[in-house]
Amino acid sequence: MSDTLYYLISALLSLGVLYGIRLMSQVRTAALGNRVSALCMLAAIVITLYRTQLGDSLVYIIIGLLAGTLISIFMTIKVRMIQMPQMVGLLNGLGGLSSALAALLTLALKRPLGGFEVTTSGLALAVGALTFSGSMVAALKLHGKLSQKPVVYPGHRWLSAFAALVMLALIVLLPLTALSRALALGLLTVAAGLLFGWLFAIRVGGADMPITISLLNSTSGVAAAIAGMALGDILLVAVGGIVGSSGLLLTQIMCRAMNRSLPQVLFGGAAQPQARPEASAAPPAVETAPEVAQAEAPAQEQAVPQDAGPSQEDLPAWLTQAQSVIIIPGYGMAVSQAQEKVKQLLDRLQSAGKKVRFAIHPVAGRMPGHMNVLLAEVDIDYELLCEMDDINPDFAGTDLAIIIGANDVVNPAANTAQGTPIYGMPILDAAQAGRLIICNFDTQPGYAGVDNPLYQPQAKVMLLLGDAKDSLDTMLASL
């Protein structure tokens, strides 16, 4: 196959992928868009197999394709929606691994190899390696196999800076050394990249995960694109670039929604835990294992303070009197797996003729869009799921806001408490609603460590403390 023909095919397939992404801008056509992209990918793989002289590598390639497909089918069927953040984390890492290996084999085997190829190989090695180790740490944290708390080693910043400098030095050195030594230097680059990725991800706490996952999503694409430059494969460059920009865009959105800058997440904040806003606003219990949170819940449930404003006896009246309701889910809902109960509550309220909608904060959960997927899984109409900017003006005219496992994302202190970590962070204006029911594990400040004035006893706020599932049961029983 001539290069010109391959360029033409690459252009067509890239446009196909872009068209698939365009279809994803609407929910109705999104599934089709995904399939269009998948088809383009399949075509790309078939063309690559056709135009490559496979020789005796054929058996390895076939085994790889089959084994990978089998593992994928198993994973696709098994993964639960609550596990999507660690799934995406794992896939980010595997993408980085594959690109790093492609770059390593380029250095080792491809001849002739010019300066451009060597330099881009070195870059792809570094980015791929740090994506791999960073993603594995993030996925293990999300899966509960590593502590969700930020881990800071002595001299953490210096270690990170050292690893970054070594990486850069090796990338610069690579094209200046003889090709015979390129592989050894390449392996050192991998080691430095792995160390940097590890150091970067290990200091990230649960609440910064949406940013971390988005960023690693981006670097996995960038690694593929740079590996594509090393190999001179235009399709890798184009599609990798698309993935890179997507991840970067999501990272920007997450940073804005948390009022954090990217350098803060990368190098700063974790040294001072109080300076880290909990966007998903789960109660501190979230940082322990979910099983523990649930086991402790019954004991705490009845512990509503005597002076905590309205009592649970008012619950039936509150729920029946409200004509318009906005439900605000947070990570606490995900931890207690209360989505089914939320759906039941929605059905009951709707069958009573009430207008019910959901307000979704951009960083609720552990990855972008996490809440939407959990609610869609229990068959909640996506048209009821509203973005923050769209629904915020409506809180003032709403009778009742029900907050389920969210804290900092509704904390009015973000508007007023200058000097606190969440000051300036955009929040859901739940406090404007006529009445509020807050289902939370306890009244401790959220992850950001800033007291939530909504927890002060007041006539319009009812606190239902304990596991979200139990609180929802209480609500359902009173309807």
Partner 1 sequence: MSNQIILVLVFIAATLLGYKLIHAVPSLLHTPLMSGMNALSGITLLGIIAVTALPGSTLARLAGLVGIIAAVINVVSGFGVTDRMLRMFRGGHEHTGEDT
- What count of Cα atoms within 13 Å lies in the side-chain half-sphere of residue 58? 7
Of residues 199, 208, 225, 207, the one with CA closest to residue 262: 208
Residues between 109 and 168 that touch partner 1 (CB under 8 A): 109-110, 116
Which residue's CB is nearer to partner 1, number 102 or number 319?
A: 102
Candidate ranges 93-101, 264-272, 410-418, 467-475; the one touching partner 1 (CB under 8 A): 93-101
Distance CA 393, CA 440 (A): 24
Nearer to partner 1, 353 or 419 (CB): 353
Does 213 bind partner 1 (CB under 8 A)? Our answer is yes
Least spacing, CB of residue 7 vs partner 1, in Å: 8
Q: Is 217 in the site for partner 1 (CB under 8 A)?
A: yes
220 binds partner 1 (CB under 8 A): yes
CB of 475 to partner 1, least distance (A): 24
219 within 8 A of 207, measured Cβ to Cβ: no
Q: Which of 1, 68, 144, 158 binds partner 1 (CB under 8 A)?
A: 68
Kindly indicate which of the ranges 152-160, 231-239, 273-281, 312-320 contains the residues binding partner 1, using the contact rule CB under 8 A.
231-239
CA distances from 34 to 17, 29, 92, 363 (A): 9, 9, 18, 24
Q: Which of 1, 71, 184, 396 binds partner 1 (CB under 8 A)?
A: 71
Residue 31 within binding range of partner 1, rule CB under 8 A:
yes
Antiparallel, parallel or unpaired: β 355-360 and 435-440:
unpaired
List 125, 250, 342, 461, residue binding partner 1 (CB under 8 A): 250
What are the tokens at 218? 């981006």
Q: What interhelical angle do 156-173 and 115-142 show, nearest 10?
A: 150
Among 81, 152, 173, 479, binds partner 1 (CB under 8 A): 81
Characterise 432 by phi-psi region: left (phi > 0), alpha (psi -120 to 50), beta (else).
alpha
Q: 375, 341 in Cβ contact below 8 A?
A: no
Tell me: does residue 475 bind partner 1 (CB under 8 A): no
Segment interacting with partner 1, rule: CB under 8 A, options 246-254, 299-307, 412-420, 449-457: 246-254
Q: Hey, which bits of 279-434 come out as E strands?
A: 324-329, 355-360, 385-387, 400-404
Question: Whole-angstrom Cα distance, residue 341 to residue 326?
Answer: 15
**Are residues 366 and 373 in contact, defined by beta-carbon separation less than 8 angstroms?**
no
Q: Cα separation of 359 and 430, whole Å? A: 9
Task: Return the residues of window 33-62 that contact partner 1 according to CB under 8 A.
Answer: 34-35, 37-38, 41, 44-45, 48-49, 52-55, 57, 60-61
Q: How many residues bind partner 1 (CB under 8 A)?
A: 107
Name which of residues 398 to 437 contact partner 1 (CB under 8 A): none
Q: What share of the chain is helix, strand, coil (3-state, %, to 5)?
A: 65, 5, 25
Task: Annotate each residue in 351-380 with x if it binds partner 1 (CB under 8 A) or - if it does not, as one string.
Answer: ---------x-x----xxxx-xx--xx-x-
Only one residue has tokens 């948390």, namely 258
Nearest to 17 by CA among 3, 29, 35, 2: 35
Shortest gap between Cβ of 229 and partner 1 (angstroms)? 5
408 counts as catalytic: yes
The residues facing 328 across adjacent strands are 403
Residue 89's CB is within 10 A of a number of other CB atoms, namely 28
Q: Applying CB under 8 A, which of residues 126, 211, 237, 431 lies at the interface with partner 1?
A: 237
Q: Nearer to partner 1 by C-beta: 73 or 303?
A: 73
| Residue number, 14 or 160, with CB nearest to partner 1 | 14
The answer to whether residue 391 forms part of the interface with partner 1 (CB under 8 A) is no
Report the residue number, 10 or 160, with the smaller CB distance to partner 1.
10
Residue closer to partner 1, measured from CB, 46 or 165:
46
The residue annotated as part of the active site, out of 208, 233, 408, 429, is: 408
- Of 8, 64, 176, 305, the one binding partner 1 (CB under 8 A) is 64
**Which stretches of 143-233 are DSSP H helices?**
156-173, 179-202, 209-231
Decide: is 223 part of the binding site for partner 1 (CB under 8 A): yes
Active site residues: 408
